[in-house]
Amino acid sequence: MNRIVGAIVLFGSVIAGAAAGYWFARPHASVPAVAVAPQGATVAADRKILYYRDPSGAPYWSAEPKRDARGRDYVPVYEDEEPTFGPGGELEKPPPRGAPRKVLYYRNPMGLPDTTPAPKKDSMGMDYIPVYEGEEPDDGKTVKVSVEKVQRSGVRTETVERRVIVRPVRAVGTVKHDDARLTAVTMRSDGYIEELFVNRTGQRVRAGEPLFRVYSSDIVQAQIDLLVALGAGPRGVTGSNPERAINGAMQRLRNLGVPESRIREVQETKTNPRTIDWPSPATGDVIDKQVINGQRVQAGSELFRIADHSQLWVIADVAEADLPHIKLGTRASSTFRAYPMATFEGEVTFIYPELRAETRTARVRIEVPNPDGRLKIDMYADVVFHASAGEVPVVAVPASAVIDSGTRQVVLIAKGEGRFEPRPVKLGRRGDGHIEVLDGVSSGETVVTSATFLIDAESNLKAALQAFTQPEAPK
């Protein structure tokens, strides 16, 4: 747009300058200073003076030598010193004096897609601009922004590299018992509770500690059989195969659930204790108690239930759409309202096979260590699954580098010296502030991560001008 406006002003100034003796050009006050040549100075035969400019740098030019209002000579501008302007309107540095450069072709001064191998003028009388060897031609895909504008706009870039995309999946859950750490205490024979050592729900017990004292006639009879087999019973009779009889009697005691310590006690002391202190089979907290002092218990009845809370389950409800991103072994972080500043790490050990029709969610089981016992059953949990962790690295760009219009995704490739190429991309997974690029960008390229919309606007303006000035196709 700056070129169009500048061309109109220049064209009008040439017509008006015939009478005034000067003409206006594009308003660039920062034209580089060159040596002042006095009027009448001899010019080398191989250098051609194009025009004269105001010595103060003001936007005034003259086709003939002249002086300004203060009597200073206008400065001649030679053919090899003519400043050129980039696509963004920025003043480009002229080439060093005397440096030989090869002209590749000449391009349209208005930026139109029109080139010529020989010098010519356009319909407005403007000279075509030479494109020298070493200058990257405009391929129609690259937009150039002045270095000053890039610096003022805070454009930042980042090198594209391969990385693992970790996509967080969020869900809610509750704390539950670990079924593998629950223990039920039962009797394998009828009996009577004579004394209860653990008489409160929630009481902490350790493996081997006595829970209750019980009398069982079946256990007493099995102890008598062992004493008889050992030859110390009241009958004083031993079988033809005493070792086999002893092993059979010991096995009957084991079948009744009698601990090994009681069996060894009967063997060593040759006595028949009437009651037995029943030991706890596990360490944990009593979460259920179904027995009181003096109660008659039947074989198979559950007397206590003991839970080991050193490890618990978090059952999370995961949305149906997020299930493909979760698999066995996926790491998960859980936070709880009671401990908002603490994070409890765990991993997925099971995904339940059914879906809840009401919420369209699936239950996912996470094993979470709880060595200090801070977590309680039925606590509410906020869960974040670190989905896709541990997978192979992929080409990824920062999320801020993508310009997403809804139907088209573009990143800006930085090519140096203020040149940028808008490039369409095909995106994949998102996570951890980055987006996987399936097609369009390669590892090692540099992308713009900030001020992307400014450069995109320059690119869209350039494309619009090209489309506006493109001649219509014949019908």
How is residue 143 written in tokens?
Answer: 């937009």
- Specify whether 345 is located in the same domain as 317: yes
**Rounded-to-integer distance, Cα 47 and Cα 45, Å:** 6
Show Cβ contacts of residue 4 under 8 Å, excluding neighbours closer than 6 positions.
Answer: 110, 465
Instruction: Please identify which residue in the block is written with the tokens 């706890």.
Output: 280
Worst-scoring range by mean pLDDT, 72-86, 404-418, 419-433? 72-86
Q: Is residue 120 part of a domain?
A: no
Worst-scoring range by mean pLDDT, 142-151, 172-181, 258-267? 142-151
- Specify whether 46 is located in the same domain as 88: yes
Let me know: does 168 contact 384? Beta carbons within 8 Å.
Answer: yes
Let me know: does 399 contact 434? Beta carbons within 8 Å.
Answer: yes
- Specify whether 293 is located in the same domain as 376: no
Q: Tell me: the pLDDT tens digits for 393-403?
A: 888 888 888 88
* Percent of the chain whose predicted confidence (pLDDT) is above 90: 38
Residue 48: its pLDDT value, please? 78
Q: Which of 370, 387, 404 is the last residue of a domain?
A: 387
Most trustworthy range by pLDDT among 140-144, 226-230, 429-433, 455-459:
226-230
In degrees, rounded to 5, the angle at the alpha carbon of residue 362 between the alpha carbons of residues 361 and 363 is: 125
Q: Is residue 207 part of a domain?
A: yes
Q: Is residue 10 part of a domain?
A: yes
Residue 59: its pLDDT value, please? 66
Q: Cα dihedral sign for 451, 455, 456, 457?
A: positive
Going by pLDDT thresholds of 50, 70 and 90, the confidence category of residue 26 is very low
- Specify whether 173 is located in the same domain as 313: yes
- Specify whether 362 is located in the same domain as 404: no
- Specify whether 403 is located in the same domain as 436: yes
Let me know: does 347 contact 327? Beta carbons within 8 Å.
Answer: no
Per the structure, the count of domains in the chain is 4
Q: Is residue 475 part of a domain?
A: no
Residue 285: its pLDDT value, please? 95
- In the chain, % helix, strand, coil (3-state, to 5) comes to 20, 35, 40
Q: Is residue 252 part of a domain?
A: yes
Other CB atoms within 10 Å distance of the CB of residue 257: 17
Q: Is residue 332 part of a domain?
A: yes
pTM to 2 decimal places: 0.54
Let me know: does 166 contact 359? Beta carbons within 8 Å.
Answer: no
- Specify whether 321 is located in the same domain as 228: no
Most trustworthy range by pLDDT among 172-181, 417-426, 431-440:
172-181
- Specify whether 173 is located in the same domain as 314: yes
- Specify whether 240 is located in the same domain as 264: yes
Let me know: does 78 contact 50? Beta carbons within 8 Å.
Answer: yes
**Rounded-to-integer distance, Cα 201 and Cα 198, Å:** 8
Let me know: does 366 contact 352? Beta carbons within 8 Å.
Answer: no
Going by pLDDT thresholds of 50, 70 and 90, the confidence category of residue 414 is confident
- Specify whether 212 is located in the same domain as 287: yes
Let me know: does 24 contact 13? Beta carbons within 8 Å.
Answer: yes
- Specify whether 237 is located in the same domain as 290: yes
Q: Is residue 91 part of a domain?
A: yes
Q: Which of 387, 415, 432 is the last residue of a domain?
A: 387
Going by pLDDT thresholds of 50, 70 and 90, the confidence category of residue 97 is low
Q: Is residue 402 part of a domain?
A: yes
Domain that holds residue 155: 151-161+393-469
Q: Judge whether residue 60 has pLDDT over 80.
A: no
**Rounded-to-integer distance, Cα 438 and Cα 402, Å:** 13
Average pLDDT of the residues in 444-468: 64
How is residue 246 written in tokens?
Answer: 């002893």
Q: Judge whether residue 331 has pLDDT over 50.
A: yes
- Specify whether 204 is located in the same domain as 276: yes
Q: Which of 387, 404, 426 is the last residue of a domain?
A: 387
Worst-scoring range by mean pLDDT, 103-112, 122-131, 280-289? 103-112
How is residue 76 written in tokens?
Answer: 């001649």
CATH number of the structural domain spanning residue 415:
2.40.420.20
Most trustworthy range by pLDDT among 50-54, 97-101, 165-169, 354-358:
354-358
